[in-house]
Chains A and B, each alone.
Chain A
Amino acid sequence: MTPNYYIVLSALLFTIGAVGVLVRRNAIVLFMCVELMLNATNLALVTFARVHGNLDGQVMAFFVMVVAAAEVVVGLAIIVTIFRSRRSASVDEASLLKY
């Protein structure tokens, strides 16, 4: 099994996440896309750790998981607060600040 497949899969997942952030409009879905990007990175990190035969990549993956959890909590707190004051999670409706 060559590691290239894993890297390609990781790059694909990362791209799907990035495109999702750019085209979707629901804050929760945007947020899930960001999480997909982080987890795609984890796959790449673990694969490279295997390629290089050292554990640094796996250690980094642990840190990414923890940071992602903290990010989920902060993000959900913000989204729930906005939802309560507007009854909607669409990022288009949140448009008091014009571009």
Chain B
Amino acid sequence: MNAAIPILTLGGLAAFFALLSIITASIVGPRRYNRAKLDAYECGIEPTPQPIGGGKFPVKYYLTAMLFIVFDIEIVFLYPWAVSFDQLGMFGFIEMVSFIVTLLAVYAYVWRRGGLEWD
């Protein structure tokens, strides 16, 4: 039973964080509904009944998708590190921090240059 405690704790923490974010967002966040927000979400492309004439080519979607891919894939390095965190010790920790800081610099660039804004 002892072995299950960390897992249960982690599950509890995850559920708590999920609920907290949803509740906070609904209390704090501004609500400005428009047509796009109420539409069904289909990979960023116009929902299936396309406007006549084909519609426009959504470049914005590609930008978001690219950013997602780059930041998402970097996580593969976190898994092996997390698995052997205890064994790697301080050196592993410092290496991982410098890796994350590198990613943060790029994130700062994307954020400051408007890569995260949809319009």
Contacts and interface: CB of A to CB of B under 8 A. Distances in A.
Asked if chains A and B are in direct contact (CB within 8 A), the reply is: yes
Interface of A: 59, 62, 65-66, 69-70, 72-73, 76-77, 80, 83-84
Interface residues of B, number: 13
Contacts of B57: 83-84
Given A69-B69, A72-B69, A73-B66, A80 B59 contact: yes
Interface of B: 57, 59, 62, 65-66, 69-70, 72-74, 76-77, 80
Main secondary structure of the interface of A (DSSP, over half): helix
Nearest to B70: A73
B70 A65 contact: no
A62 B66 contact: no
Most chain A CB neighbours (cut-off 10 Å) among B62, B69, B73: B73
A79 B111 CA distance: 23
Nearest to B73: A69
